[in-house]
Amino acid sequence: MSAPVVLANYIDGRLCAPRTARYLDVFEPATGHAYADCPDSGKSDVDAAIAAAQRAFPVWAATPAAQRALLLNHIADRLEARLDEFAQAESRDSGKPVQLARSVDIPRAVSNLRFFAASATQFASEAHAMGNEAINYTLRSPLGVVACISPWNLPLYLFTWKIAPALAAGNTVVAKPSEITPATAWMFAQLCIEAGLPPGVLNIVHGTGPDVGQPLIEHRDVKAVSFTGSTRTGALIAAVTAPQFKKVSLEMGGKNPTVIFADWDATSANLDTVVRSAFSNQGQICLCGSRILVERGIYEKFKSAFVEKVRALRVGDPQDAESHLGALVSQAHFDKVLGHIALAREERGKLLCGGHAVKLDGRCADGWFVAPTVLENLGPQSRTNQEEIFGPVVTLLPFDGEDEAVQVANATAYGLAASVWTTNLKRAHRVAARLESGIVWINCWMRRDLRTPFGGVKQSGVGREGGVEALRFFTEPKNVCIELGDT
Q: What is the residue-level pLDDT of the chain in tens, covering all 487 positions?
A: 578 999 999 999 999 999 999 999 999 999 999 999 999 999 999 999 999 999 999 999 999 999 999 999 999 999 999 999 999 999 999 999 999 999 999 999 999 999 999 999 999 889 999 999 999 999 999 999 999 999 999 999 999 999 999 999 999 999 999 999 999 999 999 999 999 999 999 999 999 999 999 999 999 999 999 999 999 999 999 999 999 999 999 999 999 999 999 999 999 999 999 999 999 999 999 999 999 999 999 999 999 999 999 999 999 999 999 999 999 999 999 999 999 999 999 999 999 999 999 999 999 999 999 999 999 999 999 999 999 999 999 999 999 999 999 999 999 999 999 999 999 999 999 999 999 999 999 999 999 999 999 999 999 999 999 999 999 999 999 999 999 976 6
Letter for the amino acid at 100?
Answer: L
Dihedrals φ, ψ of 384, to 5°? Answer: -60, -35
Please pick, among 38, 148, 192, 286, the residue that the annotation labels catalytic.
Answer: 286
Query: Per CATH, which fold does 5-252+460-479 belong to?
Result: Aldehyde Dehydrogenase; Chain A, domain 1 (3.40.605)
Q: What is the DSSP letter of 454?
A: B
Q: Does the annotation count 353 as an active-site position?
A: no
- Is the torsion defined by CA of 337, 343, 349, 350 positive or negative? positive
pLDDT at 342: 98
pLDDT at 3: 86
Please pick, among 28, 90, 179, 251, the residue that the annotation labels catalytic.
Answer: 251
Q: Where are the alpha helices (DSSP H) in 106-201?
A: 106-122, 155-168, 183-195
Query: Per CATH, which fold does 256-450 belong to?
Result: Aldehyde Dehydrogenase; Chain A, domain 2 (3.40.309)
The segment(s) of the chain belonging to CATH 3.40.309.10 are 256-450
The segment(s) of the chain belonging to CATH 3.40.605.10 are 5-252+460-479
Instruction: Specify the long-range contacts of residues 227-231, CB closer than 8 Å, at least 24 apart.
Output: 227/149, 227/251, 228/149, 228/150, 228/151, 228/158, 228/161, 228/162, 228/252, 228/286, 229/149, 229/151, 231/388, 231/414, 231/459, 231/460
Q: Does the annotation count 364 as an active-site position?
A: no
Rounded CA-CA distance 46/206 in Å is 9
Rounded CA-CA distance 417/365 in Å is 35
Half-sphere exposure of 294 (CA within 13 A, CB side): 22
pLDDT at 487: 60
**Antiparallel, parallel or unpaired: β 202-204 and 222-228:** unpaired
Other Cβ atoms closer than 10 A to 449: 9
